Every structure is written in structure tokens, then in C-alpha cells.
């Protein structure tokens, strides 16, 4: 006999908005952790030593805080923040994958880090609002995102070792963020 709790958990696992929010979280946390893990060696490859990598990691903190404030202070929605941030991240990673001029190679990691940091709170809000069992929805989103994000730095490192550069890894992150944009578009039709 199924209990009310069993039914609630099953409804979270099959809730399309929670599943789509999970994909958005995979893109955000995966991009965030991958960029965080490799930013120092990325700048070393460009012969930049010093605080630029610390600046990139610092803007990540500011980006997460700004994302939470954006919904409250601006006339925007969680889905617009997710879609906009994921679009900027996809364009930024795509430009990095194409091997842009040096000034863009130096500045785009900052832009991309802000973009992937902004939607965390918005993703949590969308998932929690999709079901009456908010805790289960958030747990699912975070568990799926964290699981995938454990694999991405390894994949990125493998790509870098095989190719000698980050272009392939950036292309992978373009794909993840494109999935997040598509997922957000689907959520706008469901919600």
C-alpha cells in the first residue's frame, strides 16, 4: 500500500517542471564548477599569473547574490533570469570555444562566471513552486546537478589532455547551457 509520502515523492520525480529545472541546474552548477576548477590553469596557459583567477571566483559570489536580488528588485521573472543567464553563458562559452582574440579570452571568463552564477536562486524557486513538496523538489534538483557536476571537471580535464586546450570543453558547456535555454522555454509553456 502506497503512503501519501510515496505518492508525493513519485509526483516530484515525474513533475516536468522539476525535471526541466534539474537540467537548468546541471548547466549552471556544471559550468560553475568546471570553470572554477580550471580557471587557474586556463589563465596560466595564457601566461597570466596573479589575481585574475581570484577575480573570476569573486564575481561568482557576487553573481549568486545578484541573481537572488534581481527578481525582487527588477520587474523580471525566475524563468527570464534562467533563460537570459543561460543564453549569455552559451554565447560566452561558444566564443571561448572559437578561440577569440586575447582581450576576450581574458574577459569572457568573468562574464560567463557571472552568467552561470545568477540563476541558482531562480532555479530553486521554479522547482520549489512546481510542487507542494518543495523540499523534495529542491533535493532532486540539487542531487541531479551535483551528480553531473562531479563528472564534468573530469571530462573537461580529459578533453584538455587529449586536445591540449579548452575549446572542446567550452563546446560541451555551450551544449549544456543550450539545453538550459530549451528547458526554460518548455517550462514557460507548462507553468
With cut-offs at 50, 70 and 90, classify the pLDDT of residue 183. very high
Domain count, the chain: 1
Highest mean pLDDT among 53-62, 131-140, 166-175: 166-175
DSSP track, the chain: ---HHHHHHHHHHH-HHHHHHHHHHHHHHHHHHHHHHHHHHHHHHTT--STHHHHHHHHHHHHHHHHHHHHHHSS--HHHHHHHHHHHHHHHHHHHHT---HHHHHHHHHHHHHHHHTTHHHHHHHHHHTSS-HHHHHHHHHHHHHHHHHHHHHHHHHHHHHHSSSHHHHHHHHHHHHHHHHHHHHHHHH-
Q: Give residue 74's pLDDT.
A: 63
Q: Give residue 40's pLDDT.
A: 85
pLDDT digit string, tens, across residues 94-107: 999 999 999 999 99
Say which CATH number the domain at 181 has.
1.20.1250.20
pTM for this predicted structure: 0.89
With cut-offs at 50, 70 and 90, classify the pLDDT of residue 30. very high
Question: Residue 10 falls within a domain, yes or no?
Answer: no
Question: Residue 7 falls within a domain, yes or no?
Answer: no
Q: What percent of the chain has pLDDT over 90?
A: 65
Q: Is the confidence at residue 1, as pLDDT, over 70?
A: no
Task: Please state the rounded mean pLDDT for residues 149-172.
Answer: 93
Which structural domain, as residue segments, surrounds residue 126?
18-190
**Mean pLDDT of all residues belonging to the chain:** 88
Amino acid at each position: 500500500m502506497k503512503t501519501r509520502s510515496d505518492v508525493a515523492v513519485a509526483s516530484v520525480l515525474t513533475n516536468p517542471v522539476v525535471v526541466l529545472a534539474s537540467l537548468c541546474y546541471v548547466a549552471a552548477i556544471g559550468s560553475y564548477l568546471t570553470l572554477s576548477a580550471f580557471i587557474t590553469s586556463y589563465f596560466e596557459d595564457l601566461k597570466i599569473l596573479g589575481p585574475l583567477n581570484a577575480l573570476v571566483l569573486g564575481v561568482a559570489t557576487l553573481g549568486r547574490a545578484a541573481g537572488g536580488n534581481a527578481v525582487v528588485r527588477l520587474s523580471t521573472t525566475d524563468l527570464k533570469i534562467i533563460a537570459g543567464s543561460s543564453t549569455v553563458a552559451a554565447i560566452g562559452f561558444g566564443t571561448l570555444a572559437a578561440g577569440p582574440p586575447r582581450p576576450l579570452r581574458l574577459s569572457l571568463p568573468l562574464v560567463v562566471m557571472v552568467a552561470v552564477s545568477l540563476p541558482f536562486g531562480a532555479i530553486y524557486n521554479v522547482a520549489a513552486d512546481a510542487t507542494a513538496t518543495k523540499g523534495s523538489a529542491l533535493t532532486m534538483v540539487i542531487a541531479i546537478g551535483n551528480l553531473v557536476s562531479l563528472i564534468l571537471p573530469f571530462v573537461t580535464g580529459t578533453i584538455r589532455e587529449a586536445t591540449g586546450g579548452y575549446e572542446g570543453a567550452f563546446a560541451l558547456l555551450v551544449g549544456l547551457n543550450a539545453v538550459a535555454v530549451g528547458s526554460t522555454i518548455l517550462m514557460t509553456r507548462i507553468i
